[in-house]
Structures are given as C-alpha cells and as structure tokens.
Structure 1
Amino acid sequence: MPLSPGAADGSCDGRSANAFRGDVHGQLVQARDIHGGVTIHASQAPPLPPPLADVSLDAPRPATAVRGRDGLLAVLGREMRAGAPVPHVLTGPGGFGKTTVAAALAERARAEGWTVFWVRPGDVAAGMVEAAVEAGGPRREAERVRSARHQALRWAWRHLDAAPRPWLLVIDNADRPEELDPENRPGDQLGWMRSSPGGFVLVTSRVDDPLLWSPARVHRVGELDAPAAAAALADHAGLAELAGAEELAGRLGGVPLALSLAGRILATHGVLFPDAHALLDRLREDVGALDGLAAPFVPVADADRGLLSGVWELSLRLVAEREPKAAPLLRILAVLGSGPVPVPLRRLPLSELAGGALGPLDEASFARAVNALVVHGLVTVERREAEAFLRLHPLVAETVRAGLTGTDLPLVELAERLLDHQRHRDLRFELQALMAIVSLRVRMHPADEDAATARGRASTATTTAARAEAFRTLVSVGGTLLYLGRPEDAEAALAPVVAAAEEQFGRAHPTALPARHLLAEARLRQGRVDEAGRSFRELHADRAEILGPEHPDTLDTAYQLGLIAIRRERWDEAGEILSEVREARLRTAGEEDPLFLFAAQNLSYVTMRLGDPVSAETGFRRVHRVRERVLGAGHHLTTDAAFYVGRAAQERGEPAEALRIFTDVLRNWEEQLGKDHPQVETVKGRIAEVAGSDAGTPS
C-alpha cells in the first residue's frame, strides 16, 4: 500500500522527501524518483519461539502377565490410594523388572480413573513440565518458565499439587539421581521427586542407597522365585505350559529380562528349540548365547537395556562415572565368585590388589569401589559371625565373564595371584574360581600352533607361555580337588595335563613335575598304593637329580613315600622317612613350614600306632598350636590337627574329651570342606564309636 507523507504511521522531514520513519510490517517499497529503479527492503522477521518439547508421557504396557510381584503391587496400590506422605522408590539391578512393576501399577491406576504420567530419563525436566501442562497448567506459562530450573520446579509442582484428578507419576530409570536434583539429595524433595497431595510419585532406579532416597520408601526388586519364573518364561513363549520351564528358569537365575529373552527365542525359533530343555542344552555352558539368539528382537538403540550384556555394561558405565576402580573390581569378582560360594572379603587384601589392573589403591578407595557395586545391585554383602563376604548374582557373574577378552588377561592373572596368596584356605571357593580361570585362559589363548607360527617366533613363545600358565592353573585345580576329598575328579583333571606337559615340555619341566606329583597322590588316595609308590619313586629320583635332595619339592615327594609306608603299616620305615623330612624342613624353614608340620603330625601318628598315645598327643598338640597361630582356629588343617588330638584322647581311654573334640571338628569340617567330604564321614564314624563306647575302653 502506498504511504503518504504525514500519514499517521509515518513522517517526512524536509531534508529528504524519500525518508520514512515508523514501524514497518511486511515490505517497504521506496522509489528514488518516478524514473529511478525500485529497491525492495525485506523486513527482519522476529525470532521464532523455541519448538515445544516433544515429550511422551505414555506408560509402557506389559506384554504379558506380571508374575511374582503381587505382594509388592498390593503394597504400592494401597499407598497410592491412601495418599502416601513420601515418594516410593523401586531399586534393583538392571533387568530385574523394576519398570515392569511400575508399568503394572500404571495399568491399575489407569483402570481406576487416575491420570498416569510416565517420565523417562534424559530430560526429566521437560517431562515434568509437560505433565504439569496436562494437569492444567497454561502452556504459555510453561514455555516461559521452562528454561529457568527453579521457576520450572515451583510452577510444575504448584499445578500438579492442584490437579483436578488424582495422578500417578512414574520417573523411570533414574539411574543418575542428580538428574532429579543436581544440588541436593533426591530424598530432600527439593527437586523433581516430591510427595504431593495431588497424586502418587514412584521412581525406579538401579541405585539402591537408602540414605540417598530417605525419607522415601524404598522397595528392592529381586529375581523371581522358581514358580513365578517358570510361569513368566511360559508367558513370554506364548504357551500355557512349557516342558522344562522350571529347569531353564533356574539356569537363568529367575532374572526377568533373561526369562523374557528366552521366551521370545522359544516363540520364534520353535524348530531349533522345540521346548525349554533344548534351549537349556544350548545355554548350559554359555549363557552369553542368549544375547546372540535374542539380538534380532532388540532394537539397536535399546541394546543397553534389552540384552543381558547391555544391561550389565550400562551398570558398569554408571558405576565407573563415580568410581573408576569399581568396574575392574567387578570383573575380578566375576572370576572369583563364579559359583555359589561368595568371595570372602579377606581374600581381597590391598597388598595384592594395589597396582596392576586396579592401579593405586588404598583402604578408602577400595571401600568406595565396593560400595558403588553394592549400591548398583551388582554385589551384595553377606555376614557370617565376624566375617564379610561379597556375592554376585550367578547370572551377573557369568555374563560379565562372557564379556572378558584378551585385554582383560591381567585381571585374570590378578585373580589367580589372589588365590595363591591364601592357597587352600577356602577350598570350595578356590575350586570354583580356578575352574573359571581355566575356562577363561583356554578362551583367551586358543591352542593354534599354525596361527602362532604365522605370527612369528615371539608369538609362538607367548602361546607356549600361555599354555604353561593354563597347565599350572589346572594343576592347582587338581590339588584343590584332592583337598576336597575328590581324588577321582583330581585324577581326571590331572592325567591329561601330565600327558600334555610331558609331551610339550618334557618329564622334568617345572610344569610337569608338580602335575606328576599330584596325579600320583590322587591314585594313592584311591587306594592304588603300588601304582602310586612306583610314580613317587620315579618322581623322587627326578627331583633329587634336578633340584637336589633337600629341595622342598624333593622332600615333599619323600614325605609321600612315608605315607605309602604308613598305608602298608611299615611303621619303622615310615618313621625313618618322616623323621628325615621333618628334621630337614626344621633346619631350613622352621616349625611353621607346612611340610614340617605334615611330617611331624604323621610321625606322631606312627608313634600312636606303635602304642604310645601320650607322646603322640604331645606331638599332635604342638602341630595344632602352630597351625592355629599361623592359619587360624577355623582353618581345615588346624582342625585336622585337632582331630588327631581327639584320636589320641580316644586311644588313651578318654571318651568324653574325644567326643568334645570330634564334635568341634565335625562342625568346622562341614563348613570348610562340605558335608559330603570323606573326612566328615570319618569324624562322624569316630563320634559314633566314642558315643557308644564305655569310659576307659580304648578304640
């Protein structure tokens, strides 16, 4: 539209008839004169408002019935309807079903007419503001306060508190609690987690730290019990009944995510896995195969929460953000705590842990690393009397081990050094750890001579060294099996090691010699005295020639020859051999030397069998005192010496004293060795003898 000089929205001065002042909307056309060109000036558009946050507040819908959580859902439902004075928090490891419980509660709330707001991690503030808008807050005001955190907090909670309909607010996967409030504890209720008269607030998080959430009420979500786990597995498989469901659910540890993955595999791959038994066979040795079979069902973006490996890796990343040492510590614990026996805290001395894979470490940083693992549900602490143990869920340990690669070999070597530090102190614990180490060494160093040759001489040497380490680990397995009273299993483990070591390194190699010794000992403990005697005589000659007659290993073989003489009841021969071993070790190592104590104890046994239980008891008590001082009162070898003190009391005709000693021995051995150990049966037999004998009647 043409504008005239002097118009209400413009002005013209005398200096320039072509000048214009005033607000312009759209485009202003200026003509220099009626014959000149025309210049068009585009007006500058005002800045566009920021786009509205695209926030989804829709709750996920459970794909199947929610099993095993009826009690928890009942509690949450009651608290929700009653108007809880504090927020509630579901904690537990990833994959254990916290989100599923929250989604089931959301279904119930929606059915009862409640509004449900589901806020996801990553941008909690945007979700909370959007929830307040849906609760009645004007959007124009929301956009104005959105960028100011404190204003947004006050504005959102004011509208949520005054909402016309009751609501359920779920803040899911709050695994970084600082997102709820970067300045205060979430439990202070100064941030996005607060109680409200308008509704019920439920938070899910891997962070199980009551002090962080207090005074909120914390519910720990664990694995499913056996019936619920089997039913959940069948649900995910789409079957009313599933053959083998109980066994497969047990293999998966009742972990809901694992059950979901297994069910989907069964539903999709019915040809490969017609029932749970078939899938169990596939997973029996390698639970990591579960992820590979289920991977096509899980979007790449959800891999960190949709696959077992992703769940634990996400937990490790979250832990490492606060405590970098926690991640390598968990991997070490996954090696040591690979079975049902937890890791004794005393088997993790700082003197052995510091340096290497964990770097510098002091008591405070170690405590922080352990606490970080506990808080994230990856490790639990158990206490027995005055001792603490660390336990991993078996599926967590197995999945973490499955993710170890060759770069993690220093962690495996550190785990083995930790076992060597207190060898034969906790036999069942040591055996499970050694078996895991053997498996990892084999996987990390496959025996491939052709590939090694192609990589050159240095790589061949590395492979040879790796094999030698694996052989040494297997030898340790055999020794532990012997201590556990399983000589048949020990022989099965050691025989191929001896054959391979002799073939690759020779009979006199440092790897072959101890393997030969333990193999002969395994045969001796099975009663094959002549066979064991031949093996020990050959080994003694080899060791004496290579190591010298008074080397500890040579004397250890001589000691075994003394035991063979005892088996044959050749008491004089046994006494002569054992006396030589005892005196040699006393001269060079002192009375705390383990071989000295073994020889002294068995020499006292010879004395007892020759008819002098009083002198024998003196010898047994001496061994017991030294072992108690060096190993501790509860060690199985200290208890072994106590057993022979009891035997001497029995021989002296003191059944009451013998019964008291044998009863203590039984309790200690059942705890240390297991109730099925042959020595446990032996002491039970002695108890029965003493209990049924007359006072003063020797056995």
Structure 2
Amino acid sequence: MSATERRSLSGSLLGLALTLGAPPAHVEEVRAGVRDAADVLWEGLEGQQGWLLVFDNADDAAVLALGNTSVGDGSGWLRATRAGLIVVTSRIMDQSVWGRHGVVEPVLCLDAADGARMLQDLAPHAGTPAEAQALSRRLGSLPLGLHQAGVYLGSPFASERTFTVYLEALNDRFPRLMSSGGDPRSGVTHTWELSLDALAAQGRGQARPLLRVLSCYAPSADITSALLDPQVLSDSLGTTEMSVRSGLEALLSVGLLELGATPDTDEVTGVVVHPLVAAASRQHLDIHVTTAAARALRVATGRLRPDNPDDWPTWLRLLPHVLSLLSLPPATLSDEGLSATAWAVVSTCSALRWSGAWSAPEGLTRQALRQAELLGPDHEAVLCLRYQQALTALYQGHHADAESQLSGILTAQLDVLGPDHPATLATRHEAAHLLVEKGRLAEAETACRDVLRDQLRVLGPDHPETLATRHWLLRSVGERGRHAEAEAGYRDLLRTRIRVLGPEHPYTLMTYNNLALQIAYQGRFAEAEWTFNELLEARVRVFGSHHPYTLQARSNRASVVTQLGRGAEAEEELRSVLAIERQVLRTDHVNVLDARYELAQAIAAQGRHQEAEAELREVIDAERRVLGVEHHLVGDARLALGQALARQGRHEEAVVELRALLELQTRVLGPTAPRTAATRECLAAMETRGA
C-alpha cells in the first residue's frame, strides 16, 4: 500500500477489507462516517494468519492516523498484532512517532565492496571491481545513489560509460547525473527535498536552511558540537535558539542527519551529513548560508587556544570542516564569510604548528589565500594568512622564503596597520627570530632589543609575545657565547613564564630547554642531564613522544650523555630520535641535521673516528646547502671534523680544515668570539703536536 496520500490509502485499505471478507454494509457505514475504518480492516486481518502488510513511503506519519488519534497510540491503521507483520518504509526515524509497539530499523548504507557489486550488477561492462568500489565510496555506498548511477551506466544512451569517467564527471555534473526525470523519490538531488517539504508542512521549515549550513562542512565527518552552537546559528539564520534545536531534531528524525561518534570528553555528541545529502544540499547554497557556516566556524575556533594541548584534538576534528569551507567557490561567500573563513584558517595554522604538524599549514594557507583574494591584498585577515605562510616556511627551515615573505608582510602592515599594531609587532618578532635561525646573531640581538622595547611599551612586560621576544634575545646572547648572561636571563624568564602561562605551557618548556643548554655549554653536564630529564618528562606529557620538541629534548639530552662519557647510550638514543624525526620532518631539516651532528660526536666518543668523519662530512654538505657556509652550526661540524681527522693521525688535513674555518670565523664572528677562540685553541694544539 502506498502511504503517500491519505485519501488513496484509505480507499486501498477498505478494498483490502472487502477482500478479507468484510461485509459491504460495514464498508458503506465507514464511508458514511458511522463506523471506524480501521476497525473494519482489522476484523479481517485478525481473522488471517501469516500475512505481511507493507505501507510504503510513509514520510508523513499523519497519513496513517485516523481522526484525532496519533499513529503511535495503536488505534489507527497501525495496531499491535500477532496475526501478521506490518512493515512501514519511512524517512521518519523518531521512535516516539511510532509508539511502543513499533520498532525502528534503520536501513543503513552498504559497505564499499557490496556497493561495488551492486554497481556491477546494474552496469556489468562499466569497469573493474576496484573502479566500481572507488565510485561506491564516492557515493557513500548509499543504495539510492548506487542504483541511480548503475542504471545510468547500464543505459546504452549514457554519455559516461565507465565507473571512472562517471566518478570524474560527478565533480562537475552532479545535478545532471544525480537527478531523475521520473519520480522525485528516485533522484538523489530531489528525494531529500521531499523530506524537507514535509518538515516545512509540519511547521519546522528552519530544518532546510540548517541542512544547507551543515552541508558546507565536510560530509561523513563529525560536525562537532562546537559548530552547532544554537545561539550562533540562530543569530546567523534570524531565528531562535529553540528553533535551531528543534530543526536539528527534525533533521535527525527524518534521517537527513546522523549522530556522530560519542566524544571521549564531556563534549556533546555531534552530527554527520551523508556525502550525497551534502552534495545535493550544496546545489542550493547562497551567501546567507555560507556566511552562517563560516561565522560558526570562526566562533568555534575563536573559543579554542592554539597553544593549549588539551584543545589540539578538537582542532583536528575541526580541520576537515575548515578544508571543506575552503573548497567553496569564493563567489558563494560574502566578504564577511571570506573574512571569517580566513580568520579560522589563521587560528588553525597556529594550532597545527604548536601541535607539531609543521608542514600542514603550507597547503592550508595557499588555499585560503586563493579564496580570500576578493578581500584585497591589504585586508588584515589576508596579511595574517601571509604571516602564517611565512611561519610555515620558517619552521620547515626554508629561511630565504621566510625572510622574503616576512619583509613584504611587514612593509604592508606598517602601511595598513601601523607600527604599534600587535600583528606588526609579531612580524618584527618573527623577523628577529629568523635572524637567530640564520646565524646572524649580532643582527638578531639588535633586532630583538628593538622590538622588545616597543612590545614593552605597547603590550606590557607580561604579554606572551613580549616574553617570546625575550626568549629569542637570550638565544642570540647564548649563541654568541655569553652563556652565564643567557643562563641568568633564562632563569628570570622561566619564573615569569611559569607565573603568567603555567609550568607546562609550551612556551615555558621552550625556555626550560634553552636554560638546560646554557648549563651544558658551561660544562655542568650532570646538572644539565638532570634538567633535560625533567624537561623530557614534561614534553612527553604535554606534546607526546613524536612531537619535534620532544625529539629535540631527547637529542639535547643525548649530547650531554656523550659529554658524561656514555657514548654508546647516547648513540642508541640518537638513532632512535633520527628514526622518528625522518618521518615527521624533512631529512635536511635543521633538527635532523643537529641530531646527526650529535650522533657523530657520540660515535667519535667511542673511538670510531672514521665513521664519525663520514657522518660529519654529510652533515656539513647538507648544512651548507640549507643554512649557508657561514652559519655557526656549519662551523661547529667543521671543528668536529678537524678533530676526527686529527684522531686518525691525519694532522695535515686537520690543520688545513681548521685554518680555513678559523679564517671564516674571524671574519664572520669576530676574533674574540667563543667559537673562534675554540677553533684557534684546537688548531694551536694540533700545530704544536705537529711541530
């Protein structure tokens, strides 16, 4: 029995009652309004055994009710029985609608393999099982979509004749391929509109724009509760919070949304949109819908902290939705929507970098800048996207790119935002940081002092950015050999960061790491090892074992272990570190090269000088390529190389290497710099032995 319309259903059921032996007079009394129609039908049904009665397409439950009764009370067309079985096919998944005698059985999607078999049954010549499975995954293995695709591909008149061609065509021709010229229920692009029409007829018209908004996010991925804030959505859609909640419940009740996975924390469960539901809904996007989605995303990201490890799992759950909004054509977004999406990307890039995914923001910023072009090059959000792009280059060790980008950003910020804007100061801070990484230590110290002076005036002494500049200033001081001065500064900065940020904030742990280095540089290796052990415990707790900062702490501790005479232990630790670093960083990243330098030192400490030499030569070649020939880290490796040569009895080669290094260091670092002095002393000792 078709249950799409009340009058025709009633006529069909009365005809069934006559077939089952109901007296014609009783049927006439029903039509006259003096006898209950369902009673007449059920007298016949209860007199039979083993029957099946199917009510098909009952998307409006009221069609199955009689008079003032509801479907679920069991007194209308649907009643509890032991004589047979009633099956109702419907989009309504709400158990309360069907009452205590009804059992809701969701008809789930197939898996990709079963979906592929369905496609091949319908279109046996359209491709291989693997190709069919790829199309099945793209269609979310939804039987309706699979059937429509299979029937189309099986037609001799189809333009697309293979699974692969059809899959590629979906991106550009989804409405044509997924529509139907016949019954709207059989067409993917139409079928869910029927459910939305039914909800609107029930006074829940807000479900339609809500679904449009949610379709802007990533299909098949949990749309977290952070994106479902009723207040934010109600403000954007011009309705009430209660209406938003009711609309979400309505979409769940007809299967247009599904509940997401239960979160591990106290967070409320999110929802999931099937990819075909999302694709069909995206055919109806407008700037009001996309702006609402972008605004909700910005609010959600704005409530999180990029530098808070507790928030990093939430950032990762939001990332697919950030990418989904970036896939929307710019023309479908208002300036507000473009701006909101851009700011969400800025925050997301920062969170990814803090969490250790240093390369991830590269593609993200590139997509966001392409989408945000309509805002103009001087828009503050665009400048901040460019800033995130520059930081990505910096953290990956692409120093020339980072320097060029930061210079251009700073020029624009000074013109648009002014010299005292926090974003301008942040760019100046990172430009000074970059000078430290490039080994231009005297310039770096001057630049850090200049920006620190302005940050103290504008932001105050306890602002995190002010404290970050103090950190890099002390790094430049320490790298220039003023270790006692750097140690005292780091101890003071550590106390301040603990007070302002907390003892296990990532910034605090960075200061603790550099304090330990200054202790080691002054030869207090046992104290340094104890400090690194404490730091490493905290970094594993905060970042996890595979974060670049955790691996860096392990490498630093290993260098101290070498100095304490435990070369074999240090070697084992460094090989373990390198195995992971090569997975999470580029093979020529400075952190990897630094760990390889420390590995060579550990090998040399065990007397394997030829093996240490080979490792050092590879490190020097890579560091020259990445950092430049004048960088002080290249000098450190060259000094170690000279020592390795001397320990093999190759004194002439060692003297030639160290004389060349001394000439370079004298010119670049100055004749009194500690690194220059160390090379001079080592060279003098070799020349004395040679004489």
Structure-2-length-normalised TM-score: 0.65
- Residue number in structure 2 paired with 1:133: 18
Q: In the aligned structure 2, how far is the partner of 1:215 from the partner of 1:157?
A: 16
Change (3 A) 1:476 1:195: closer
Matched position secondary structure for 2:429 = helix
Residue equivalent to 2:207: 326
Displacement of 1:309:
1.7
- Determine whether 1:550 maps to 2:429: no
Q: Structure 1 residues 441 and 421 mapped into 2: Cα distance closer, same or farther (>3 Å)?
A: farther
Stretch of structure 1 that moved more, 609-618 or 218-227: 609-618
Shift of 1:312: 1.9
Partner in structure 1 of residue 605 of structure 2: none
Aligned pairs for 1:35-434 (under 5 A) are: 57=1, 120-123=4-7, 124-146=9-31, 148=33, 151-163=36-48, 165-181=49-65, 183-213=68-98, 214-238=100-124, 242-243=128-129, 244-268=131-155, 272-283=159-170, 285-286=171-172, 289-293=173-177, 295=179, 298-299=181-182, 302-303=183-184, 305-320=185-200, 321-335=202-216, 337-356=217-236, 358-362=237-241, 364-381=242-259, 382-384=261-263, 385-388=265-268, 389-405=270-286, 408=289, 410-412=291-293, 414-415=295-296, 417-418=298-299, 421-422=302-303, 426-434=314-322
Letter in 1 for 2:83: G
What residue ranges of structure 1 are gaps of 5+ in the alignment?
1-56, 58-117, 446-465, 670-678
1:594/1:390 Cα in 2 relative to 1: closer, same or farther (>3 Å)? Answer: farther
Q: What is the DSSP-based 3-state SS (H/G/I as helix, E as strand, rest coil) of the residue aligned with 1:246?
A: helix
Go from structure 1 to structure 2 and tell me whether the alpha carbon gap of 1:491 and 1:326 turns closer, same or farther (over 3 Å shift): closer
Q: Deviations over 1:594-644 (max 9, x none)?
A: 64565466567768875767974775686577668xxxx9xxxx8644763
Cα offset for 1:253? 0.4
- The alignment status of 1:566 with 2:436, answered yes or no, reads yes
CA, structure 1 residues 144+479, in 2 after alignment: closer, same or farther (shift >3 Å)? same
Give the match's secondary structure for 2:328: helix
- Give yes or no for contact 1:160–1:196 (8 Å, CA) kept in 2: no
User: AA paired with 2:419?
Assistant: P
Shift of 1:326: 2.5
CA distance 1:572–1:148, shift in 2 (3 Å): farther
Change (3 A) 1:406 1:514: closer
- Tell me, what secondary structure is at the counterpart of 2:271? strand
What are the Cα deviations for residues 427-481 of structure 1, in whole angstroms up to 9, with x where unaligned? 4455443444344343537xxxxxxxxxxxxxxxxxxxx5797588568657745
Looking at secondary structure, tell me which structure has more helix per residue.
Answer: 2
Residue 514 of structure 2 is aligned to residue 644 of structure 1: no
CA separation of 1:561 and 1:179: change in aligned 2, threshold 3 A? same
Q: Share of identical aligned residues, percent?
A: 24
1:456-495 residue pairs with structure 2 within 5 A?
Answer: 470=338, 473=341, 477=345, 480=348, 483=352, 485=358, 486-490=360-364, 492-493=366-367
Inter-CA distance 491–353: structure 2 relative to 1 (3 Å threshold): closer
SS in structure 2 at match of 1:343: coil
* CA shift for structure 1 position 132: 2.0
How many equivalent residue pairs? Answer: 530
CA drift at 1:173: 2.1
> Which protein has the bigger strand share?
1
- Structure 1 counterpart of 2:541, one-letter code: D
CA distance in 1 between partners of 2:245 and 2:226 (Å): 13
**What RMSD in Å do the two structures reach over aligned CA positions?**
4.2
Aligned partners of 1:646 and 1:659 also within 8 Å: no
Verify the 8 A CA contact 2:59 2:198 in the aligned structure 1: yes
For 1:256 and 1:231, locate their aligned partners in 2 and report how far apart those are by CA, in whole Å: 11
* 1:556-635 → structure 2 map (5 Å cutoff): 556-570=426-440, 574=444, 577-578=447-448, 581=451, 584-585=454-455, 588=458, 595-596=465-466, 599=469, 616=490, 619=493
Alignment pair present for 1:535 and 2:405: yes
| SS state at 1:200 partner | strand
Q: Structure 1 residues 522, 694: CA separation in 2 closer, same or farther (over 3 Å shift)?
A: closer
Aligned with 1:662 (options 539, 544, 547): 539
Change in Cα spacing, 1:444 to 1:135, as seen in structure 2 (3 Å) is same
Contact 1:487–1:526 under 8 Å retained in 2: no
**Counterpart in 1 of 2:394?**
524
- Which structure: larger Rg? 1
Deviation at residue 200 of structure 1 after TM alignment? 0.8
Does the residue aligned with 2:104 lie in a helix, a strand or coil? strand
Output one character per residue of 1:325-382: Cα deviation in whole Å (capped at 9) or x when no partner: 32222222211x32454222123434433334x22323x4333222222222222233
What stretches of structure 2 of length at least 5 have no aligned partner? 518-527, 565-569, 571-597, 599-691
